[in-house]
Chains A and B, each alone.
Chain A
């Protein structure tokens, strides 16, 4: 069953110069127990999408969609309070900026205990505070923090970024969510912990059936831990489908460039030689190119590309490009 099913998600910001559309009609769905990767150039709107789903964007952003279903229920048209309740209970998010999401004025113990809802503690009420402490320590162990004594008594600024990130993950899994959205959860971590955390996310996924939306730049980990993949460029979905299929044969030139730019996927790379990269950079939202947004940077662009490509479908593989890399088989 589809747990999350969003159609034409659009996120706009009202500014002095009118509306800016940061995310443009993006479709996104997750089955129960599915792990989906979300990748794309910086500024392409990944974090905005994640924040829109959990409803933490501030009032200046306008979020609209043609469909927003959660566990088969239309929550787009529910009163705000009820939306919040469902999302607060079922969806947890690990933010990109750990130090910004932890309260600098409280010790970790307080923050972690606060994140543990009563319903996950099974025991009589008079044992609650003991159980809660126990659970807090267990959560730290789970994310690979062995030295729980000193960490629990620390303020966030006393800990390294990496440890803060692990604590964030502990807080997110504390409520046993149905969907875990992880926004670049391992950026600040060293490779041993990175591997450990991806394994952790994947074991939460497998043991508890938690769906995971994984936003990450680590294509290697995306390849290993996700079943499906959505690729964004400049606020639009450019490709989506099975992760393995996309990585093996991308249809869209942006996806292709993304894969080729990763040294992990280039076994014969000579040290200190240039990596593959598209020229130029992602346009600002105020000055979007006409037609395909990759146009000015695309090695395959032709004059047809001044027309915006529509999303096309080949079996389970979606893409939006007039000249897919497989040749015009559609």
Chain B
């Protein structure tokens, strides 16, 4: 069976200013390979600056890799195909709130997503918007809310709604669960698990919340300074980490 997502030897570097005229190259990602099957969850963990968000940006095609391939259901993906696989891969970034248009009501924003990406008519769209809001524990009243009227955690849910409304095959969550309060997080985790069981949705979960990772991930990949360390089934990584860094990471979350 071809994997839903197959990433082969991905590398990416940035030029970074270190002085007035001095630059230094930062190798944000180095030779990263992994696969993700439908209905599974892969967690990417690693410290700040280890390249997690960079990886997410490459996967959704916002940036181009220096080297390596991204295969989606067996087909190579390039940045120019971005619109085409916009449906299949949806993502929620760390700074989800910033990516919302402050002058647009939430209902309108969700309607636009459907209008641009589906053939639904107005009634179908309205229905889907209501259903999605409900799934995410938001209310009908929120249709008329502007982004600034939500609290931080509520905004994260709005971002999730925007991602899930197109029924994607792969959802990339860049620290999208961390900012949620525990009771809300539990609801969303349950929703994600349910969707996964029902429709085989796959998740790429970028998170430092190791207890949560342990609960929902099938596989775990540890990034350190852009390089892969442990990459194995979650139970193995947690019970028998191969690298000192991974051990330290796990201990620090349990200490």
Contact = CB atoms under 8 A, between A and B. Distances in A.
Report whether chain A binds chain B: yes
A128 B142 CA distance: 52
Contacts of B110: none
B82 interface: no
Given A100-B98, A191-B209, A262-B186, 8 more contacts: A42-B180, A47-B152, A153-B20, A191-B208, A271-B216, A272-B215, A275-B186, A281-B184
Interface string B174-215: 010011111111110110011000000000000011111011
Interface in A257-313: 257-258, 261-264, 269, 271-278, 280-281, 283-284, 286-287
Given A162-B48, A191-B253, A99 B98 contact: yes
Contacts of A273: 193
Nearest to B184: A42
B18 A149 contact: yes
A153 B139 contact: no
Contact of B178 (A99, A149, A187, A258): A187
Contacts of B208: 189-191, 194
A229 to B, nearest CB: 14
A277 B183 contact: yes
12 contacts: A43-B151, A96-B152, A97-B152, A158-B16, A184-B152, A190-B50, A191-B210, A191-B252, A261-B185, A273-B193, A277-B190, A281-B139
A131 interface: no
Contacts of B181: 39-42, 217, 258
B227 to A, nearest CB: 16
B47 A193 contact: yes
Top 10 nearest A-B pairs by Cβ distance? A42-B153, A162-B48, A190-B208, A275-B186, A261-B186, A281-B137, A277-B186, A191-B253, A43-B151, A190-B47
B11 interface: no
B36 interface: no
B94 interface: yes
A262 B209 CA distance: 12
B35 interface: no
A264 B48 contact: no
A99 B194 CA distance: 34
Main secondary structure of the interface of A (DSSP, over half): loop
Contacts, number: 144
Contacts of A53: none
Contact of B139 (A96, A158, A272, A284): A284
A127 to B, nearest CB: 25
Contacts of B50: 190
Contacts of B166: none
A41 B180 CA distance: 9
Given A191-B210, A264-B211, A153 B19 contact: yes
B24 interface: yes
Contacts of A284: 139, 141-142
Contacts of B184: 41-42, 281
Interface of B: 16-20, 24, 45-50, 53, 94-95, 97-98, 137-139, 141-142, 150-154, 156-157, 175, 178-187, 189-190, 193-194, 208-212, 214-216, 234-235, 248-249, 252-253, 255
Contacts of B189: 274-275
A158 B151 contact: no
Given A258-B182, A275-B189, A99 B95 contact: yes
Interface in A210-249: 217, 219
A328 to B, nearest CB: 25
Contacts of A278: 183
Contacts of B152: 42, 47, 96-97, 184
Contacts of A263: 211-212, 214-215
A287 B153 contact: no
Contacts of A44: 151
A258 B185 CA distance: 10
Contacts of A276: 186
B94 A188 contact: yes
A39 B24 CA distance: 42
